[in-house]
Structure 1
Amino acid sequence: MAEPRWVQLSGADNVRDLGGLPTDDGRAVQPGRLIRSANLQELTDDDVARLVEELHVRAVADLRTGVEVTNEGPGPLHHDARVDVRHFSLFPEAGEATDAARADDDSPVVLPWQEREQNETGGARPDAATVYLRYLDDRPDSVLATLRLIAGTDGATLVHCAAGKDRTGVVIAFALAEVGVTREAIVEDYVRSGEAIEAILARLFTRSTYAGDVDDPGAVDADKHRPRAGTMQRFLDELDARYGGPSAWLRRHGWTDADAQALRHHLLDPQD
């Protein structure tokens, strides 16, 4: 298993280039093709230069919901003409940026998962693997669109959500599985977000969008938010049991052999 290519930025956490992850046929993901991250709202000018000029980021797949995007406003990469920023929510959207709302400027933000937990589970949080499967039921279009963006981008695609571990973890797992990255490497990469969990929570707690959903980092054991290997293993096992695996799920929703070939070519083949 390759060591993670952590990308140290002043304004974002949990950023890493997935180059080096091994495939079952002895190949590896090429560096500078796929990057994962937490929220990008606080990128500095130097961070943007590092991502765009050094790491050649040319597309961003933003997996946050409409309310997050609206409440946070345009991030620094929106202002760089070299980068194509796309929004692919993994929650149902009742209309543009209306999947959740707040009553007025002084009211706390109500995020979609909070509303769902209250309405459907009486406030109890379901386990993470169940939440991940729900993403697939709700927004298969966003999963496929993100993978097609990755495959069609001339340069690196950066995939992110708020923390960069759950929504991002699901979509990255599909991308890696589809090009043949080993199951062990997929799980280990998912778990590595735990190495940044303290920084992730501390930064989110300072954002008005997330402050009501994130425990005070100084008063909570961050370990309860840390991603577990068993969660991703259960998620992938459930995909195997229900659909025959990630590739079969993708094809059930319109993914083609040409799509798979393009993704594999982009992520695995060296530059000419």
Structure 2
Amino acid sequence: MSTLINFRDAAAAADPGAVHARPGVLFRSAQPYDGPSAAPQKTLAENGITTVIDLRGPDECLDGDWGRPEPGVEIVRTPLDTGFEISQRWAGELRDAADLGAFYLDMAQSSPQALAVAVRAAARPGGVLIHCAAGKDRTGLMTALLLSLLGVPDQGVVEDYTRTAEALPAIFARLAERPHAQALNTETMDIPEVILQAPAGAIAEFLRLVAERFGDAEGFLTHCGVEPETLQAFRAKAEAGRG
């Protein structure tokens, strides 16, 4: 069993028949909590993961979060940060799942370079793991875009996203224990209730807005500066029946 909370093969969860996406290529999780322990590295090795995409901001990270990665494993840090301006724009506005989905798009649009770096890393050979802190919001939107790029239907993307709800109690408990300024106390902090959930409507609204404004995930990622050859490379390794 993995020591990473909220860890799963996103392609297998969203597309269990491997109709669109190859299993064993695209994984997701919350951040590691084992410090210098070799346990997270064992999970990477067992699943053929050679690239870890860390979407957290610098103030969320602790020294030794990934211990000492094994040779052949690279940690790519590309912060997809909510930022002060975005937080201010959305203060008091996150009331329901649709608001959360719109927030995801705002966050993604505000970090186009970070998204482009993440996609380039995901296109590298070998398995890739995407994570942020909880493995829900930033990880959710990034995973949704990549799954959509492979042709996974929206319903499958939604089913993968909502599986995070099962892990949220454990995630929040561990976040509250972080010896860090970004430790999360869901009982004392003023956090919109929807942020503490993984509602299907959030990622469904995100996908709807992407399609409405950019045509599809490819259109949005191209808008963010991802090169056609990068998109082709990711599909070549991650589409079912290829690679």
Same fold (TM over 0.5): yes
1:23–1:182 contact (8 Å) kept in structure 2: no
Q: How does 1:250-265 map to 2 (within 5 A)?
A: 250-265=221-236
Name the residue aligned to 1:106. Answer: none
Q: How does 1:238-249 map to 2 (within 5 A)?
A: 238-249=209-220
- Aligned equivalent of 1:75, options 65, 68, 85: 65
1:23–1:181 contact (8 Å) kept in structure 2: no
The two structures, once aligned, show a CA RMSD in angstroms of 2.8
Residue 201 of structure 1 pairs with residue 172 of structure 2:
yes
Q: Which amino acid aligns with 2:170?
A: A
- Aligned equivalent of 1:48, options 20, 41, 45: 41
Name the residue aligned to 1:186. Answer: 157
1:135, CA displacement in angstroms?
1.6
Q: Which amino acid aligns with 1:83?
A: V
Q: From the superposition, tell whether residues 149 and 19 of structure 1 become closer, same or farther in structure 2 (CA, over 3 Å).
A: same
Residue 133 of structure 1 pairs with residue 123 of structure 2:
no
1:77–1:83 contact (8 Å) kept in structure 2: no
Residue 230 of structure 1 pairs with residue 201 of structure 2:
yes
Gaps of 5+ in 1: 1-7, 93-111
Q: Which amino acid aligns with 1:209?
A: H
Name the residue aligned to 2:21. Answer: 29
Provide Cα deviations, 1:5-44, integer angstroms capped at 9, x if missing partner.
xxx333x3100012434399x7242222111000113264
Provide Cα deviations, 1:148-197, integer angstroms capped at 9, x if missing partner.
11111x32111000000000001001111111111110011111100111
Q: Quick one: distance in 1 between partners of 2:134 and 2:210?
A: 23
Q: Quick one: distance in 2 between partners of 1:41 and 1:145?
A: 24
Gaps of 5+ in 2: none
1:258, CA displacement in angstroms?
2.1
- Of structures 1 and 2, the one with the larger relative CO (CA 8 A, separation 6+) is 2
1:125, CA displacement in angstroms?
5.3
Q: Which amino acid aligns with 1:68?
A: E
Using the size of structure 2 for normalisation, the TM-score is 0.84
Q: Which amino acid aligns with 1:86?
A: V
* Helix, strand or coil at the partner of 1:134: helix
Identity rate of aligned residues, in percent? 28
1:215, CA displacement in angstroms?
0.9
Q: From the superposition, tell whether residues 234 and 56 of structure 1 become closer, same or farther in structure 2 (CA, over 3 Å).
A: same
Count of equivalent residues: 234
1:62–1:89 contact (8 Å) kept in structure 2: yes
Provide Cα deviations, 1:105-131, integer angstroms capped at 9, x if missing partner.
xxxxxxx46x854x445x535332232
Q: Quick one: distance in 2 between partners of 1:84 and 1:270?
A: 27
Using the size of structure 1 for normalisation, the TM-score is 0.76
Greater mean deviation of Cα atoms: 15-24 or 182-191: 15-24
Q: From the superposition, tell whether residues 32 and 210 of structure 1 become closer, same or farther in structure 2 (CA, over 3 Å).
A: farther
